Amino acid sequence: MKDFDIFLGEVWVEDNKISYVGKYKEHDCLFDREIDVQKNLIMPGFINAHTHSGMTFLRSIADDMPLQQWLNEKVFPIETKLSEEDIYYFSKLAILEYLTSGITTNFDMYLNPEAIVKASLDMKYRTVLCGAVNDFCLSVEDVERCFNEYNQENSLISYVLGFSHEYTNSKEKIQQVAALSHKYKATVYTHLSETEYEVNTCKEKTGRSPVEYLCDLGVYDYGGGAFHCVHMSEHDLDLFKEKHLNIVTNPASNLKLASGIAPIQAMLQRNINVCLGTDGAASNNCLDMFREMFLVTGLAKYKNCDASAVDAYEVLKMATVNGAKALNLNCGVLEAGKLADLIILDLYQPNMQPMNNIAKNIVYSGSKSNVKCTMVNGEILYEDGHFYVGFEIEALYDEIQKRVERLK
């Protein structure tokens, strides 16, 4: 564990799974391709446990304003003009960016599940969708239909129950989601306690914190978790621990929208499973797990006035195996039988030298530029700066720019 068991050896991939991990050994099967990674690192891909892929079109459009104003004045009005096809193209751009950052799965919440499913399948990418029930456009019936449809269609796609936010759903809607969760004994995810304003408003309305309120409504009786969780009381955190809920932290987005710094150290002290996500390109603005990894530990050190808070090993777990656990995915570690969602990191760039500690090098110094190769489900989709996703990248950029001009 101390150095994440880094060893010299081989990883074999057959179909979409890892078939062997260990020292060099003779083999009689014929591989399509053998890659000498030299002394670079093969590791599990990162799991981006909270994002809105379709929002790439908003990158750098609506910066420098507070969250509620940003949502109400910029994001919501322009989103009403979006077509399913728009979301399809914008999601493809996000997936390209995930590949450059070694992200092999996204946990995605957005308006139109069909669009991101089509984008992911066309690019052979792995997506877990999250239901986004809200009072304006997505019903509980929509989410139930998707839950049944997308949990059998393809091993690259799965679907988790969820709703947008406490504050964009009536009590009845939230109770309906809870009932759905009870019916299928299924987990539920939502945005939660992202801003102080959200927490205060909920308290005024219900007399309870958002976490307490959702627990009261039975939302979390079958587990799941929440995104952001910046403003959590001790009691909120205790509830999360008691119910074995997962937290997806989004440090860059929380900073940039001035929402705050999540109490990561207090979560880890309770053994809560903490995962890492980029949030969407509208707020972050880039979809880069290396930035999130540095931030989650840097901000925890600052918040706790303790430079030893949240060490690099914890951070690597957040970015890989913790995400897999939360999303019930058979990946996140190098082990025979696991899904072949793998990345190769280039350790021979200046930011990774000298090799005093490879895990710390990755978390504190790593960058997109170290990602040599990203494999999803046994297929290499990105290698040495080239994408293998079935279309011309510049044509996609042109298509997106045209659509953005129309929407603006």
Match 């290499």 to its residue by tokens: 380
- Candidates 6, 65, 137, 336: give the one binding a second copy (CB under 8 A): 65
- Candidates 22, 84, 139, 307: give the one binding a second copy (CB under 8 A): 307
254: preceding bond cis by omega (within 30 degrees): no
Exposure string over 173-189, b if 16+ CB within 10 A, otherwise e? bbebbbebbeeeebbbb
Q: Between 162 and 263, name the residue whose CB sits nearer to a second copy.
A: 263
Of 19-27, 127-135, 159-167, 356-364: span binding a second copy (CB under 8 A):
356-364
- Candidates 139, 200, 328, 353: give the one binding a second copy (CB under 8 A): 353
Of 117-125, 214-222, 242-250, 302-310: span binding a second copy (CB under 8 A):
302-310
305 belongs to the binding site for a second copy (CB under 8 A): yes
6 belongs to the binding site for a second copy (CB under 8 A): no
CB of 373 to a second copy, least distance (A): 14
Asked whether 277 and 48 are in contact (CB, 8 A), the reply is: yes
* Pairing of the two strands 342-345 and 371-376: antiparallel
154 belongs to the binding site for a second copy (CB under 8 A): no
Which helix (DSSP H) or strand (DSSP E) does residue 301 occupy? helix 289-303
CA atoms within 13 A on the CB side of 313: 8
CB of 45 to a second copy, least distance (A): 16
State how far the Cα of 144 lies from the Cα of 395, in Å rounded to an integer: 36
Of 61-69, 112-120, 154-162, 318-326: span binding a second copy (CB under 8 A):
61-69
- Candidates 86, 288, 292, 341: give the one binding a second copy (CB under 8 A): 288
Asked whether 101 and 46 are in contact (CB, 8 A), the reply is: yes
| Residues that contact a second copy, how many (by CB under 8 A) | 69
- Candidates 294, 324, 326, 375: give the one binding a second copy (CB under 8 A): 294
Identify the burial level of 262 via C-beta atoms within 10 angstroms of its C-beta, where 0-12 means exposed, 13-18 middle and 19 or more buried: buried
- Candidates 64, 207, 271, 395: give the one binding a second copy (CB under 8 A): 64
State how far the Cα of 264 lies from the Cα of 24, in Å rounded to an integer: 39
State how far the Cα of 211 lies from the Cα of 226, in Å rounded to an integer: 9
Question: What is the SS3 string spanning 99-151?
Answer: HHCCEEEEEECCCCHHHHHHHHHHHCCEEEEECCECCCCCCHHHHHHHHHHHC
Among residue numbers 189 through 248, which ones bind a second copy (CB under 8 A)? none
Relative orientation angle of helices 312-319 and 289-303, to the nearest 10 degrees: 140
285 belongs to the binding site for a second copy (CB under 8 A): yes
Relative orientation angle of helices 140-150 and 113-123, to the nearest 10 degrees: 20
350 belongs to the binding site for a second copy (CB under 8 A): yes
CB of 307 to a second copy, least distance (A): 4
- Candidates 111, 132, 237, 257: give the one binding a second copy (CB under 8 A): 257
Of 111-119, 154-162, 240-248, 305-313: span binding a second copy (CB under 8 A):
305-313
Asked whether 151 and 184 are in contact (CB, 8 A), the reply is: no
Of 72-80, 114-122, 143-151, 250-258: span binding a second copy (CB under 8 A):
250-258
Q: Which stretches of 170-269 are DSSP H helices?
A: 171-184, 196-206, 210-216, 234-242, 251-256, 264-269
- Candidates 10, 122, 135, 311: give the one binding a second copy (CB under 8 A): 311
Collect all residues with Cβ–Cβ distance below 8 Å to 258 and sequence separation of at least 6. Answer: 66, 67
- Candidates 4, 46, 70, 110: give the one binding a second copy (CB under 8 A): 70
383 belongs to the binding site for a second copy (CB under 8 A): no
First to last CA, the chain: 50
74 belongs to the binding site for a second copy (CB under 8 A): no
Collect all residues with Cβ–Cβ distance below 8 Å to 140 and sequence separation of at least 6. Answer: 133, 173, 176, 177, 180
Of 47-55, 150-158, 221-229, 254-262: span binding a second copy (CB under 8 A):
254-262
60 belongs to the binding site for a second copy (CB under 8 A): yes
Residues that bind a second copy (CB under 8 A): 56-61, 63-67, 70, 93-94, 96-97, 100, 252, 254-258, 260-261, 281, 284-288, 291, 294, 297-299, 301-302, 304-309, 311-312, 348-351, 353-357, 360-361, 364-369, 393-394, 397, 400-401, 404
